């Protein structure tokens, strides 16, 4: 059997309490949750941190640079 690709409904939600305490490791600023992209966004640092299997990957080296 082949594994099916995860859909938006399969994506684990991030705990809102976690969003209250997490900060950007680069700027120290607040993060915004982008549900569609499943990322945490730091507007101050212009970076997007991926969330994999419900776990935010808060490494600047792995963050996506925003335009």
Mean pLDDT for the chain?
86
Q: What is the pLDDT of residue 6?
A: 47
Residue recorded with tokens 């963050």: 63
Query: Which fold is adopted by the domain 16-65?
Result: N-terminal domain of TfIIb (2.20.25)
d(CA 54, CA 47): 18
Q: For 11-29, write each residue's pLDDT tens digit.
A: 667 888 888 899 999 999 9
Residue 46's CB: how many other CB atoms inside 10 A?
Answer: 15
Average pLDDT over residues 35-63: 96
Residue recorded with tokens 């594994």: 3
Strands 55-56 and 39-42: unpaired
Minimal CA–CA distance to 56: which of 44, 43, 42, 39? 39
């Amino acid at each position: 059997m082949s594994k099916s690709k995860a859909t938006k409904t399969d994506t684990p939600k991030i705990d809102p309490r976690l969003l209250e305490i997490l900060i950007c490791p680069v700027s120290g600023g607040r993060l915004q949750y982008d549900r569609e992209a499943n990322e945490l966004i730091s507007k101050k640092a212009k970076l997007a941190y991926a969330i994999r299997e419900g776990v935010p990957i808060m490494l600047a080296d792995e963050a996506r640079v925003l335009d």
